[in-house]
Amino acid sequence: MLNRIVSHTVIWGTVILALLVTAPTESLAQAKAKAKPKAKPEPPIPVPTRKITIDKVDPATKSQVLTSAAKIDKLIEANYLKTRTKPNEMTSDEQFVRRVYLDITGTIPTYKQTRSFLINTDKEKRTKLIDTLLNDEGYARNLYNYWADILRLRDREVTNNAPGKLYNEWVREHLEANTPYDRWVSEMLTAEGKYLDNPATGYLLRDSGMPLDSMNNTVRIFLGTQIGCAQCHDHPFDKWKRKEFYEVAAYTFGTATRRGGNDKRFGGGNVVNKMREELKKIDDKFDGGGKYNRFLQGNLIEVYDNGGKLTLPQDYQYDDAKPKTLVAPKAIFDPQPVTSKGDTPRVIFTKWLTSPQNPRFAKTIANRMWKRLFGIGQIEPVDDIKDETVPENPELMDFLTAEMVRVKFDVKEYLRIVLNTKAYQREATYVEVGESEEYHFPGPVLRRMTPEQVWDSFITLAVWDPEKYQMEPAKVQGELLDLDLTKATAEEIVKRDAELRAVQAGKVRDARNKDYTYKGQLLAYASELPTPMPPGHFLRQFGQSDRESIEASSEEGSVPQVLQMFNGTITHMILHEKSFMYHTVTEGKKPEERINIIFMTILSRRPTDEERTIAMEEIAKHNAGGYGNVIWSLVNTREFLFIQ
């Protein structure tokens, strides 16, 4: 990015350069070349990438989509009448284009994208744009960030000695392929085998060693139901009995997440200890400690059914059963699971959970996706549904659930329907949505962008071709780590270890990152950065989850966020003469044209007359510096951070 030659610096460049106290940063490659002019040119370091295939919407279902959208509007409008709710005005094209880009692709549109939409006179341009964006890679990036928060995806490790990236990428690929939701959830819950061979096991490994918490999380995430209290005692605010918790947990309790080093397949003795002794013989520096654990322990991580049975705890305190008695599996909702011959309890449970007949599976995902677009669910909170819960509009909730089932859990198709509703395309509600009164969806609520949306929007402003940057594919590490411990030799492990260190070396990372690094910060979309970012990073300041608890992402403001926007690296980057922003603005020739471009780039709208006058005055006063001030000011508006 920074190596690009910008051809439009003539008018503006000299002046803005004078504004830049720091000289344009050289890329690492350039700096090295200067430092060692006579060194032999090194062969280029390969930068492997992953082929991304994004599933496309079906043009043939368009009329059905519009019919369903109209039905949703009918149900909502009936409720407006009943509750005397005045619907909001329809969004202007300017409001719509910004919102729909953010909601689908997770970033604001570029100037060109905004402009081409605004000047388009096609009557169906909204529906067409929705389809275009659903077919864009940004769709999967944005949805991945959403699931990363729920599934607590982290790169470092999904469990000890198992790098999370493989599982994360597995999730990502299913979102790209738009695998039906019930199917990829099933695959995770029933996954078997070694993690390094089958990353879908990552879901169960995330709560490795905590089978009861794992069940609690599964029911909360996929059935929108909280049974956690009943882990220790009867639920105080819901109907769940402690016994019921144990009964449902019994389905998955017999799932092991680690193969013992003493397993007979390894021919007697502990394979880890044996191998360590071998490794000591050929690696002088190896002290028998954890150095090779990612191979030795990592290849023991495996999900399999061990037939373990759950018994009630020692402190079981109710009269309906005795402590330490065996628990027979039973599901928490009817219809009870259908048991087929040969199915493990985990498979039986999963079939029950993901069935269209399960009263909360389809409902939960329909409600979650509704909330993603409206900012508030038909049912709130989305993960605490109780028997007595009444959705805001029960008929609508039923219809949404039925639609989710009708489209066979094709989440993209479902979003396509909701995005095409009039209700979604109305303006955001002006007034505060209160603590207690019910919201009847006169339009979406005003939302601050998610942490990833704020960051990705800054990336859109600053960076050339950000979609071309990809994080290292997980298989680079995964294939090197994957070994068959029944056969592997110490020599092989030492060799693999060296290879792994080589691909993880700084220069390999630099080769990938060099064109996307500014002042030490990697400027790539959030989905391509390590997850979670360390505390103190822009994303964390804006509320990115630490990935320790489910849906811990936050949209709250704070002083460090404001300081970041005032003075942070990425704000600086936007004003750099080699930034994409600079390039976009200098494509305009006259001040008025440039002001238009600046507003349309940052806020996706044209300036009002008054704003134009203010901006013109600023530019008259400070010449080129005035442009910088206008840009800086606009990214620092609250309007920039919120989705109208």
Partner 1 sequence: MFDTLKNLDITTRRLFLERAAKSLLGVSVLPALGSFGFGADDKKKPMPKLPGGGTASHVIYLFMTGAMSHLDTFDVVGGRENEGETKPVQTKVSGLTLGNWLPELAQHTNDLAIVRSLHTETADHEAGKYLMRTSYKEIASIRHPGLGAWMMKLNGIRTNRTLPDNVLIGGDNRHPGAGFMEPTYTPIPLGNPNDGLQNTKQPEYLNSGSFQARLDLVNKFDSGFRKKYPQKQVEAYTEFYKQAQALMGSADLKAFDLNLEKKEDRDKYGMDAFGQGCMLARRLVENDVKFVEVTFGNWDMHTDIYDKVGTNAGRMDHAVATLLGDLKSRGLLKSTLVVITSEFGRTPKINQNAGRDHHPGVFSGVLAGGGVKGGQVWGASDKDGHHPADEGVTVADFNATIAHALGLKLGEEIFSKSGRPFKVAHDGKPITKLLG
Which of the residues 389 through 428 are near partner 1 (CB under 8 A)? 428
Any contact of residue 625 with partner 1 (CB under 8 A)?
Answer: yes
Site for partner 1 in 154-213 (CB under 8 A): 208-210, 212-213
Nearer to partner 1, 116 or 569 (CB): 569
Report, in Å, the least distance between residue 565 CB and partner 1. 9
- The full DSSP string for 258-284 is E--TT-GGG-SS-HHHHHHHHHHHH-T
Site for partner 1 in 443-472 (CB under 8 A): 446, 448
Identify the CA nearest to 387 among candidates 395, 377, 375, 379.
Answer: 379
Choice from 558, 589, 593, 620 touching partner 1 (CB under 8 A) = 558
Report, in Å, the least distance between residue 335 CB and partner 1. 28
Choice from 260, 549, 589, 593 touching partner 1 (CB under 8 A) = 549
Any contact of residue 384 with partner 1 (CB under 8 A)?
Answer: yes
Site size toward partner 1, by CB under 8 A:
82
Q: Which residues, in sequence order, are CB contacts of 222 under 8 Å at separation 6+?
A: 185, 353, 354, 361, 364, 365
- How far, in Å, CA of 507 to CA of 250, rounded? 49
Report, in Å, the least distance between residue 539 CB and partner 1. 10
Task: Please give the order of strands across the beta sheet that includes 193-194.
Answer: 193-194, 301-305, 255-258
Binding window for partner 1 (CB under 8 A); candidates: 23-31, 83-91, 333-341, 529-537: 529-537
Binding window for partner 1 (CB under 8 A); candidates: 43-51, 114-122, 190-198, 379-387: 379-387
How far is residue 562 from each of residues 50, 556, 637, 638, measured CA to CA in Å? 36, 12, 10, 10
Q: Encode 440-455: b = buried (16+ Cβ within 10 Å), e = exposed.
A: bbbbbbbbbbbbbbbb
| Residue 94 and residue 605 in contact, taking contact as beta carbons nearer than 8 Å | yes
Identify the CA nearest to 446 among candidates 426, 460, 461.
Answer: 426
Choice from 31, 232, 328, 620 touching partner 1 (CB under 8 A) = 232
Binding window for partner 1 (CB under 8 A); candidates: 42-50, 60-68, 110-118, 545-553: 545-553
Secondary structure of residue 500 in the 3-state scheme: helix
Binding window for partner 1 (CB under 8 A); candidates: 118-126, 353-361, 539-547, 587-595: 539-547
Report, in Å, the least distance between residue 549 CB and partner 1. 5
Any contact of residue 564 with partner 1 (CB under 8 A)?
Answer: yes
Choice from 10, 21, 23, 35 touching partner 1 (CB under 8 A) = 21
Any contact of residue 536 with partner 1 (CB under 8 A)?
Answer: yes
**Which is it for strands 447-448 and 255-258: parallel, antiparallel or unpaired?**
unpaired
Any contact of residue 231 with partner 1 (CB under 8 A)?
Answer: yes
Report, in Å, the least distance between residue 54 CB and partner 1. 30
Choice from 9, 79, 355, 554 touching partner 1 (CB under 8 A) = 554
Choice from 52, 552, 587, 592 touching partner 1 (CB under 8 A) = 552
Nearer to partner 1, 95 or 178 (CB): 95
Any contact of residue 575 with partner 1 (CB under 8 A)?
Answer: yes
Binding window for partner 1 (CB under 8 A); candidates: 2-10, 165-173, 295-303, 560-568: 560-568
Choice from 147, 286, 333, 632 touching partner 1 (CB under 8 A) = 632
- How far, in Å, CA of 76 to CA of 88, rounded? 13
Any contact of residue 10 with partner 1 (CB under 8 A)?
Answer: no
Any contact of residue 219 with partner 1 (CB under 8 A)?
Answer: no
Any contact of residue 557 with partner 1 (CB under 8 A)?
Answer: yes
* Residue showing tokens 């071309």: 468
- Tell me which DSSP letter residue 163 carries: -
Binding window for partner 1 (CB under 8 A); candidates: 16-24, 98-106, 261-269, 333-341: 16-24
Measured at the CA of 397, the angle between CA 394 and CA 399, to 5 degrees, comes to: 110
How far is residue 45 from each of residues 31, 33, 371, 505, measured CA to CA in Å? 17, 15, 44, 11
Alpha carbons within 13 angstroms on the beta-carbon side of residue 235 total 18
- How far, in Å, CA of 191 to CA of 193, rounded? 7
Q: Which residues, in sequence order, are CB contacts of 57 under 8 Å at separation 6+?
A: 131, 134, 135, 412, 413, 416
Alpha helices in 444-552 (DSSP H): 451-462, 474-481, 490-503, 506-513, 538-541
Choice from 81, 341, 431, 609 touching partner 1 (CB under 8 A) = 431
Write the binding mask 580 to 619 for partner 1: x where contact by CB under 8 A, - elsewhere.
----------------------------x--x--x---x-
Report the length, in residues, of the chain.
644
Any contact of residue 641 with partner 1 (CB under 8 A)?
Answer: yes
Choice from 63, 306, 314, 340 touching partner 1 (CB under 8 A) = 314
Any contact of residue 312 with partner 1 (CB under 8 A)?
Answer: no
